């Protein structure tokens, strides 16, 4: 896995294709719920549900997961200037390691079910940081977003062993030395993609340095459309 939610995006795309092919009266929330049910319950693949909603809705959203499987999707009205700065500051980097996230997720679940104090405290920190990240984005404060990512990365590493690897740490430390303001692994960890914020004027240097060190770094863009399917006349 890459940590970018690609497996969930694939399931969402398949559900969306069937929705169009069968003319089913389903909205993005229904598509996300069905994809979650297929991936997590029918196939028994451990994981969360944010990836399905991100793929089904698209755009920049704040997701709240409540009791009784209720999910609230709140689109964020981020000024275009702030999104431009966000995209100009963002660098993603594939570590060269793919991993199965279920091992890490199972350990996290065991820590929560077992009321492990460190796991619980770390999860509460990650939850609080999500709201702080939303507020920082709405203010257009990329420096604060980077600081939140750094704190979240520290908390995430405490949720399970294997979140950080030698390859992850090597590229992460290099990025910080080369001017990244902050960063974090994407997804469960154990490999996959890293994301960083840096001064837009330093972005090309950071990407070039990470690529020279064996990473696969690039810029990234925000997409505002969720999963799409269409019929082709024959």
Active-site amino acid positions = 51
The answer to whether 186 and 195 are in contact (CB under 8 A) is yes
Q: At 20, phi and psi to the nearest 5?
A: -70, -45
Q: Whole-angstrom Cα distance, residue 32 to residue 54?
A: 8
Measure Cα distances from 46 to 31, 105, 106, 152, 183 in Å.
19, 7, 7, 21, 25
Conformation bin of residue 45: beta by default, left when phi > 0, alpha when psi is -120 to 50: beta
What whole-number distance in Å separates Cα of residue 153 and Cα of residue 92? 15
* CA gap 61, 128 in Å, rounded: 16
Report CA dihedral (98, 104, 6, 85) to the nearest 10 degrees.
Answer: -90
Distances (CA, A) of 121 to 46, 57, 118, 138, 161: 21, 30, 5, 26, 16
CA distance 125 to 156: 9
């Amino acid at each position: 896995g890459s940590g970018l939610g690609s497996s969930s995006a694939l399931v969402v795309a398949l559900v969306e294709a069937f929705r169009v092919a069968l003319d089913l009266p389903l909205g993005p929330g229904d598509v996300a719920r069905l994809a979650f049910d297929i991936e997590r319950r029918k196939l028994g693949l451990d994981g969360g549900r944010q990836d399905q909603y991100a793929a089904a809705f698209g755009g920049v959203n704040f997701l709240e997961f409540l009791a009784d499987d209720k999910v609230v999707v709140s689109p964020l009205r981020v000024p275009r200037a702030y999104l431009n700065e966000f995209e100009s500051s963002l660098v993603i980097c594939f570590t060269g390691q793919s991993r199965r996230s279920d091992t890490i997720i199972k350990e996290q679940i065991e820590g929560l079910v077992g009321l492990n104090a460190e796991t619980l405290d770390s999860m509460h920190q990650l939850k609080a940081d999500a709201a702080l990240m939303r507020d920082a984005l709405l203010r257009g404060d990329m420096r604060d977003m980077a600081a939140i990512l750094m704190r979240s990365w520290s908390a995430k590493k405490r949720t399970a062993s294997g979140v950080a690897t030698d390859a992850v740490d090597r590229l992460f430390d290099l990025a910080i030395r080369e001017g990244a303001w902050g960063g974090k692994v994407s997804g469960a960890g154990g490999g996959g993609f890293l994301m960083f914020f840096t001064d837009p004027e330093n972005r090309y240097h950071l990407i070039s340095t990470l690529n020279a060190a064996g990473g696969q770094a690039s810029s990234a863009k925000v997409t505002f459309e969720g999963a799409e399917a269409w019929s082709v006349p024959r």
